[in-house]
Structures are given as structure tokens and as C-alpha cells.
Amino acid sequence: MITEALQYFTSLARTSNDPKLILDQEGIESPRSATYVIGEKIVDVPISKPPRDHHVGSLEDLIALANRFGFPAVVWYCISCVWLVIDDDGHRCERAAFNLELSDTWKLLKELRQRRTEFDHKSFCKLLRIDLAKALPPGALLEIVRSVSFEAGTVVKAKVTRQMESMGRDITSAVSGERDIPETVTLLVPVFKSPRLINDRYSVSCAVDVDPERGTFKLFPVPDEIERVEQLAIENIGVALGEGLNNVNCYQGIP
């Protein structure tokens, strides 16, 4: 009995000395320090500052933030994001980021290249008139396509040209219009829709393919054109960083 009693009183003493967190009247902890009751004492324990994890709204804001911290901060950039690593010589957990969002038109061109979507006459006109409205000069392709009609017939001989393809020996499908449909067109497209970067437009060479037999159209970037333009857009971001950063190194890649 005596031993059990001593153990009980010892446990009470230990329990009374266990730290007890004091919350404010609304039951919320302070973000700067934690207040504990240890025995009969009140102790304030400072809370460590969390690592910076900022998300800025423009490339200019990220440059300004990088210049604020200076060396040893480092900037990294790629097609999807620009990062500022503030403590590059430390744990590299202090960061700020500017996310690069692709424009709607650029996403469309990448989809057209991948899927090689086939459009009927009405859908193709809609594509040119609405989805690519700001990418094509007026009259460059839309007005030509609008006047197109497809014809099918039987001939003795057929010459294979851009607008007439031999279907067997006797069957020929043809495309007629006021002007010839160009084999390629150049689109002026923004790669990014992020603030201010949406004003930077790049020339993209696209192929125009017509199927007279089916009466359909295809429009898609020529091979390697997407990669070429994306790399050019990334390089232009690097140029802007190089011109705006003071005593801060920048690299193309991912930290």
C-alpha cells in the first residue's frame, strides 16, 4: 500500500509539471509564440518562422523580389514556371514562384498537332473564325475556305495536283474556289496567357490539308514547330530575367 501511494503521488507531481498550452479566448494559438504553464511558471516559447512560399502575379514582381534579396538567391525558369530560390546556399526551402500558364490558342495548336483533327467545311470555318480569330490575318485563309465547294465526277484522265487527286483510274474528286487554298499558313500566337506575356506573339507555320473525297480539312503545326516556338518563348523569358536581375544568377531548368 505504501509503495502504491508513493507511486501515485510521484505521478501527480510529474503530471503537474507537464507543459500545458495556453490558448487565447477564442481557443486559437498565437502564430508567433506558444505560451505554456509548467508547474507554477508561465513560459513563452517563440515559434520558428515557416519557410517562404510566395506565389507572385507577374514576372516583374518575381524580378523585384529577387533583387530585394540579392545574392545568393538564384532564379530558375522553364516552360511552366519561374522560381526564385532565396536560400540557394542553405536548405533551398525559401522560395517564390511565378506560374506560366499556356494560352488557349497555344493549347489548341498542340492538340491539333497531336490529334490531326479532321473538320468538315462548317466546323473548319468556325475554327478559323472563332478559335483562331486573332492568330490569322483577315482574309488569309477564312475567306478562301468560305468560298470552297467540293465536286466529284468521272473523267478519262486526271492530273494529280494540289486541288485534284486521282481516285483510281476514272474517279476524280476536286476542290474549287475563288482562290487556291494555301499549303501552309503562318499564325501569330501567344505562347503564354500570363500577365504581359500574353502580348508576346510568335510566328507558327501550319500545314493546311484538304481531302476532296471526304470534303474535310486539317490544320496543324509543321513538324518541330511547337518545340521551336516554345524554346524561343523560354529564351525570351531568360532575356527579360537577364535584363531585370541585379546580382542574381538565373538558369534555364528546374531547381
Chunked in runs of 10, what are the mean pLDDT values of the chain (255 residues)?
A: 43 54 57 69 76 94 96 97 96 95 97 95 93 85 85 47 45 60 94 94 96 91 97 97 96 96
Pairing of strands 164-167, 171-176: antiparallel
Give the residue from 192, 184, 181 showing the smallest Cα distance to 222: 184
**Rounded to 5 degrees, what are φ and ψ at 7?**
-65, -40
Given a contact cutoff of 8 angstroms between Cβ atoms, the answer to whether 96 and 56 are in contact is yes
Which pLDDT value is given to residue 31? Answer: 67
Task: Say whether 52 sits in a helix, a strand or coil.
Answer: coil
Nearest-angstrom CA–CA distance, 154 and 171: 5
Residues facing 41 on adjacent strands: 38
Strands (E) located in 53-143: 53-55, 74-77, 81-85, 95-99, 119-120
Nearest-angstrom CA–CA distance, 229 and 113: 14
Which pLDDT value is given to residue 228? Answer: 98
Residues facing 205 on adjacent strands: 186
